[in-house]
Amino acid sequence: MAATPDPALPMPSDNESLTQIESQALSELDAVANDDALERWRVAYLGRRGRLTLVLRGLADLPIEERRRVGARANRLKQQLEASVEEKRARLAQSAGEALNAERIDVTLPGPPLPRGRLHPTTQTLRDVLDCFVSMGFQVVEGPEIEWDHYNFEALRIPRDHPARDMWDTLWIDYEKDGERPMLLRTHTSPNQIRVMEQTPEPPVRVVVPGKVYRYEATDPTHEWMHIQVEGLAVDEGISLADLKGTLADFARRIFGPDRKVAFRCDYFPFVEPGMELRIDCFLCGGEGCRTCSHSGWIEILGAGMVHPEILDAVGYDSERYTGFAFGMGIERIAMLRHGIEDIRLFYSNDLRFLRQF
Ligand code: PHE
């Protein structure tokens, strides 16, 4: 191990030790990484008892010739080291500034936007539809998606083997009782008409029932094996077809625009009498005829009718005293019309490019 010179002792004042001081000083300075280390380095070489200072002090003891030679060199080295200290100090300050700059945060910049979720387009339309009826005094209730044949068909005057069952292609639950399959995935929300009336001993009844319904169907642009319906039911004394018409006209105008015309056309559903379909004038072509309205000027919106008196009697309501209306609509169809969507399958294909547009 090389002997370290005692800084308290004067260095031998010759060229060799000046060369040594110079090379040590410069290589140590190179390793200096902060202001404290720089100050320690400065004190070690240029301080009052620093190595170079001691050499300079020792000059007086040298013979005159040597004093001149060594002195000149030692003074140059002193200037050189002093300049190096300043240069190093400046460089340390600069890199500290750069590091600060690199880490600088502009707290006034807006943050990166958080991705926000949104409601599915059918949920948006469903809520608008429900809001509309709620504001007219209807209450929102729900019923089961797995339903008894009894509520889905029988109690709605759609007996087994009746051709009307063909209107609803059914997904049956694999459960047998007495050789029959009495359970299914509901094909419409109408079974809730019966359920609600059974749970309401005496009218008035005013409900809307949203929910998923299922059909055993091949899918195409206007058919899905699952869609969402909203059922409506109002039963009270003195309810007439005029109430049905007024309620649904109001609904159509709120959802499709204040200038909508509505029209009813006869249709058949076993649980209403008379049964009808509601149409609105085509809001795209204004009745002229276009692709959306199949060139008829009218768009079918929903099925409706006056509750069949046999159904009122069957749930224990006096059909001489009470009358009612019912309606049922597919929410996807309403959303498709509102937004100009041409394929119902888009709703449930989980394509974010589609969903992000709403
Ligand atoms: N449930 C019928 C359907 O799904 C619609 C409807 C409801 C018709 C209420 C009349 C009254 O097609």
> What lines the ligand 1 site, CB under 6 Å?
188, 190, 269, 272, 275, 303-305, 326-328
DSSP string of 119-146?
Answer: --HHHHHHHHHHHHHHHTT-EE----SE
229 catalytically annotated:
yes
Confidence band (pLDDT; 50, 70, 90) for 328? very high
Is 168 a catalytic site residue? Answer: yes
Predicted confidence at residue 196, as pLDDT, reads 98
Verify whether residue 188 is a known catalytic residue: yes
Class for domain 121-355, per CATH? alpha beta
Q: Which residue type does 60 have?
A: A
Instruction: State residue 128's pLDDT score.
Output: 98
Averaged pLDDT score across all residues of the chain: 91
pLDDT of res. 193: 98
| Model pTM above 0.75 | no
CA 276–ligand 1 middle distance (angstroms): 9
Q: What is the pLDDT of residues 235-248, one digit of tens each?
A: 999 999 999 999 99
Residue 1 pLDDT: 44
Per the residue annotation, which of 186, 326, 333, 335 is the catalytic one?
326
In this structure, the chain runs to a length of 358
CA torsion angle 86 90 93 97 (round to 10): 180
Atom 8 in ligand 1: residue holding the nearest Cα: 303
Domain parsing of the chain, residue ranges: 16-96, 121-355
**pLDDT, average across residues 139-156:** 97
Q: Whose CA is nearest to atom 5 of ligand 1?
A: 328
Number of CB atoms found within 10 A of residue 343's CB: 14
For residue 295, indicate whether it is catalytic.
Answer: no
